[in-house]
Amino acid sequence: MIRSGFRTALLVAAAGMALATTVSCSQSTDLATAPTPAAEVVAPERDPQTLRLLYSRSALTLNPHLATGYQDFEAARIVYEPLASYNQAGELVPFLADEIPTAENGGIAADGTTVTWTLRPDVTWSDGEPFTADDVVFTFEFIRNPVVAAATAQYYEGVKSVEAIDDYTVKITFTDPTPAWSVPFTGQTGLILPRHIFEEHNGPSARDALANLQPVGTGPYQAVGFESGTVVYEPNPSYWGGRPAFERVELVGGLAPYAAAREVLQTNEADFAHNLQVEAEALRELETDASGHVTHLFGAQVERIMLNFANPFARTEDGERSSPDLPHPYFSDLRVRQAINLAVDRDTIAKELYGSAGKPTAQLLVAPLDYQSESIAYTYDLERAKALLNEAGWVDTNGDGLREKDGVALEVLFQAAVNPVRQKTQTIVSDSLTELGVDVQISRVRLDEFFSADPKDTQSINHFFADMQVYSIGNENPDPTTYMGWWTCAKIASQANQWQQPNNARYCNPEYDRLWQAAKQELAPDRRAELFQQMNELLAEDVAVIPVVHRAMTNAVSDRLSEVEFTPWDASTWAIKDWQPAPSDS
């Protein structure tokens, strides 16, 4: 009853904050949900040499290792490059590397403890200074400096040392045999920083460096302006790949998904709109007689509902909420979690909200396909869910339609970022839970706050001061070691680590940890796939998370562009060096 009273007070406060969020974000929400009345659209005159890119969030830094979210990686990727990255087919493509390491060329050690990269000899930074192996060594020093608290540090945890053999040869040594040798220094989490620019800021002043806003990179464009949610770029005169096709790039943040899609597909005001979480029917209407097209690329993204294994409405003696020391009063019961899982209508959510951009799933690890498990399935069964709650002792004793146990009502606070698709997901799930006899309170959180890494933003996904939350994420690399490590006991987000660890469900299972440790060092591909499948199955069996939809990355691209290729394993801007104006019809 103490919990119930404290919870009631917090729910009232949360409801107030949710109402304030609804009011303050009403303009953004309207843009995202309401199609514009049919009217003749007059395409504005645009500079053909300017490339305009639209995002829902504004970039806060151009230092990828201090990124606060995907928008920072997208903006930084235009300036910085990794040694290599993965294309759509999952093949490694060299950027700053001269070739991809293999066992045959001697780059990958037979025992899995080292990998050696050879670098391009013709690369300079945009200020004309030479790029060398020492810059790769420094990037590792910067990432691993605990004072810096790099956002990408988790991708380098298994690295023992990085050594410059000579100016164009780098040797990486791992603490254990490592099949995931390709994770460090590849993709958007592997972008290389210049030592001569950042060395004096490798410490407490890392976030104060001017270069975080005025970077010196090796990429095709250099940033020349950064203000009011817009980053402006011009060609990098020192780029090793030759001069890129456009004279100016504008990356604009803060646009609602529907508004961004409309600017590309209908009004011809922009060339690219990123990650369009727009209802399927609204997007189909925008595609009619459009000046652009929509791309759907399925990778590893899974829209999931998280259940909090900790009590978000009780505090430890130190004042910590959602502490694993205080288990959740009903989600600690597997039967309650199973009931919630059975009440999620994945088919309806996927069909009505995502269309061709989403597939219903119960798998957390969906890509690469080798790691999926055929034994994981889902069903929508409210009668079975009711039976499980009855079995767990949650019954409606007074006929008010709500279940109680020991005088405590079965009620949940369900939070999500402000977004029309997620709000409708909340509604669909809430309707089913209400039919079960669960009292559901809906919270809508500002986008920047929900996905914030700032310890002060208490409504963020890692604080998780709610019972349930919904969002989408997946593995950044075809090797899912880091991603699946998020569910280990050591990765629990807490006050002690400033909520910087990714296990925000506070799930902890020693058997899962054992499987992950084995997969982390297993060099045999078939055995390794089996281990990841077992981890996938264990998470499903424990209802540690409720996967809902395997989401495609949905972007809008202007028909005036050509040679635009996306990959699920890097930022959308990963190959912007290749983007070209489409050939003229004349």
pLDDT, tens digit, 9 for 90 and up, residues 147-206: 999 999 999 999 999 999 999 999 999 999 999 999 999 999 999 999 999 999 999 999
Predicted pLDDT of residue 4: 47
Q: Please, what is the average pLDDT of the chain? A: 92
Contact present, 428 and 345 (Cβ < 8 Å) = yes
Instruction: Please tell us whether the domain made up of 300-552 is placed in CATH 2.40.160.40.
Output: no
Q: Where in the chain is CATH 3.10.105.10?
A: 300-552
CATH assignment, 80-207: 3.90.76.10
Which tokens hold the place of 297? 């690329």
Q: Which of 51, 59, 397 is nearest to 228 (CA)?
A: 59
Which tokens hold the place of 222? 């250099």
Q: Which of 478, 519, 520, 482 is nearest to 501 (CA)?
A: 482
The CATH homologous superfamily to which domain 47-79+219-295+570-586 belongs is Periplasmic binding protein-like II (3.40.190.10)
Contact present, 390 and 404 (Cβ < 8 Å) = no
Average pLDDT over residues 62-83: 96
Give the span between the Cα atoms of 243 and 248, in whole angstroms.
Answer: 12
Count of beta carbons in the 10 Å neighbourhood of residue 296: 16
- Sequence-separated (6 or more) residues with CB below 8 Å from residue 476: 155, 187, 188, 189, 300, 482, 483, 569
Residue 32 scores a pLDDT above 70: no
- Phi-psi category of 407—alpha, beta or left, where left has phi over 0 and alpha has psi -120 to 50? left
Strands 408-409 and 169-174 come out as unpaired
**Confidence bin at 27 (pLDDT 50/70/90):** very low
The dihedral built from the CA positions of residue 154, 159, 164 and 165, taken in this order, carries a sign that is: negative
- Phi-psi category of 178—alpha, beta or left, where left has phi over 0 and alpha has psi -120 to 50? beta
Write the DSSP symbol of residue 321: E
**Confidence bin at 3 (pLDDT 50/70/90):** very low
Strand partners, 471: 304
Contact present, 358 and 551 (Cβ < 8 Å) = yes
Interval 518-547: pLDDT, tens: 999 999 999 999 999 999 999 999 999 999
Predicted pLDDT of residue 543: 98
- Percentage of the residues of the chain whose pLDDT score is greater than 70: 92
Q: Where in the chain is CATH 3.40.190.10?
A: 47-79+219-295+570-586
Predicted pLDDT of residue 7: 55
